Amino acid sequence: MDMFRYAAWLCRDKSIAEDVVQEALLRAWKSLDALRDDAAAKPWLLTIVRRENARYFERRRLETVDIDNLTASQSALLAEAPNEELTDLREAIYRLDDDYREPLVLQVLMGYSTSEIAELMGLKQGAVLTRLHRARLKLKDEAAQEELS
Amino acid sequence: MSQQEDTLNCDDYKTAVSADPGFNDETGHADSCASCEQYKNEIVAMNEKLALAMALEVPPLTMPELPVIDSQKVSSLVARRKLSKVTWFALAATVVMGVFIGLRVNEMAATAGTLGEQVLAHVDHEPQSLKVTDTPVAASRLARTVPVEVATMNHDAGLITYAQSCEINGKMVPHLVIQGERGPITILLMPDEKLVESQSLDGVNVRGVLLPVGDGSIAIIGDREEQLDRVQQNVVNSVNWNT
């Protein structure tokens, strides 16, 4: 479930996320030998999902997504929230830049520490902290604007 | 305690908390600053909502066909570790297959039945949409739910208090709610569901109609006592397909 949710928030499309997870599982199976420590299985799998997602978009050279012009599969990601407030929040997360959305998902959904996120994303911890700070500020601003409207 | 922690000010504190709501404030800054304490509470509350928002429904996932692994290579692994990984994958496969079977059963149940039955079932599945309120849905939300590529609407339909994209018959369609004289009225705009003639819908406490409109159809469902004839006319007049 974590693999799928992480993939879905990375690529913002449920159908593509399913393909990415399948490819990632296949790749993980083939390279099982590379897993040296059982305790590291989860970050190892997430790293494979991350690479597979990048490969997918390299292959297809997809353009950035306009939230007002989504495919059914992209809309499905946003349509299942149990109430309007969470739908708005999903849309706000959806609109975040990839650089902000990914560390936020890793922290909030996966429970990763900032140092673990830094390692997974190949960043300095300070850069991760900055991105997380900016991501939350953007979400707070959007929530305030939504209340005003 | 480091010098930086000694000199933590409000800006530093807020930056640290918004980067990590679990930030360990060893200086106790928030204990003596009401503004920062409130800020932290807001961030923690937002984080809880974020976790809920990010917990997407997981669809049925099929396991890929796994290739055979060369047992000669694997035999060099430590026995305990090999067994553990295989077990781990078996468990993962079991969970994925379980989710797949469970969701497939749900999906089959959801997709079974006529369009009318699906429409009535969908109204039952979104009771939160049926609020009696005079607060209109935000214009931006309405614009996202009913994109101009699908349809344009004028204000003849009535006060729209709910707008959400929902799946009916395998397609995402605008689900709107307007306020009628006897309570909320559900409207589903289905530009791809062509009908030959109108169909009556008869639910437990609701009734409605599926109306052919151009190359699509519109479902209107309300309270049994609601005078739907006038509502139908207003809704049909207010919608223009653009597909």
Shortest CA distance from A107: residue in chain B: B20
pLDDT at B104: 58
Closest to B18 (Cβ–Cβ): which among A5, A14, A137? A137
CB pairs under 8 A between A and B: 129
Do the Cβ atoms of B53 and A107 come within 8 Å?
A: no
Shortest CA distance from A139: residue in chain B: B46
C-alpha–C-alpha distance, residues A98 and A101, integer Å? 5
B162 pLDDT band (50/70/90 cuts)?
confident
Closest to A109 (Cβ–Cβ): which among B51, B81, B138? B51
Give B190 to chain A, closest Cα distance, Å: 13
Instruction: Please report which helix (H) or strand (E) contains residue B39, including its range.
Output: helix B34-54
SS3 content of chain A, % helix, strand, coil (to 5): 80, 0, 20
Do the Cβ atoms of A32 and B128 come within 8 Å?
A: no
B138 pLDDT band (50/70/90 cuts)?
confident
B62 pLDDT band (50/70/90 cuts)?
low
Closest to A1 (Cβ–Cβ): which among B58, B162, B165? B58
Q: Which residue has the higher pLDDT, B138 or A60?
A: B138
Number of H helices, E strands in chain A: 8, 0
Give A133 to chain B, closest Cα distance, Å: 4
**Contact residues on chain B for A140, CB-CB shorter than 8 A:** 42, 46
Residue B161's identity, in one-letter code, is T
Q: Which residue has the higher pLDDT, B60 or A42?
A: A42
pTM: 0.51
Highest mean pLDDT among B83-92, B96-105, B119-128, B173-182: B173-182
**Contact residues on chain A for B42, CB-CB shorter than 8 A:** 140
C-alpha–C-alpha distance, residues A110 and A127, integer Å? 19
B150 pLDDT band (50/70/90 cuts)?
confident
Do the Cβ atoms of A41 and B88 come within 8 Å?
A: yes
Decide if B157 contacts B235 (C-beta within 8 A).
yes
pLDDT at B79: 42
Shortest CA distance from A1: residue in chain B: B58
pLDDT at B8: 77
In chain B, what percentage of residues exceed pLDDT 90?
A: 17
Highest mean pLDDT among A122-136, B16-30, B117-131: A122-136
pLDDT above 60 (res B75):
no
Of A60, A91, A64, nearest to A75 (Cα)? A91
pLDDT above 60 (res B60):
yes
Q: Which residue has the higher pLDDT, A38 or B201?
A: B201
- In tens digits, chain A (149 residues) has pLDDT values of 788 889 988 888 888 888 888 888 888 887 777 777 777 788 888 888 988 888 887 766 555 555 556 666 566 666 666 678 888 888 899 889 989 999 999 999 888 999 999 988 988 989 999 999 999 999 999 888 877 76
pLDDT at B172: 86
User: Average pLDDT of chain B?
Assistant: 78
pLDDT at B4: 46
pLDDT at B98: 65
Do the Cβ atoms of A79 and B165 come within 8 Å?
A: yes
Shortest CA distance from B18: residue in chain A: A133
Shortest CA distance from B87: residue in chain A: A38
pLDDT at B208: 92
Decide if A101 contacts A9 (C-beta within 8 A).
yes
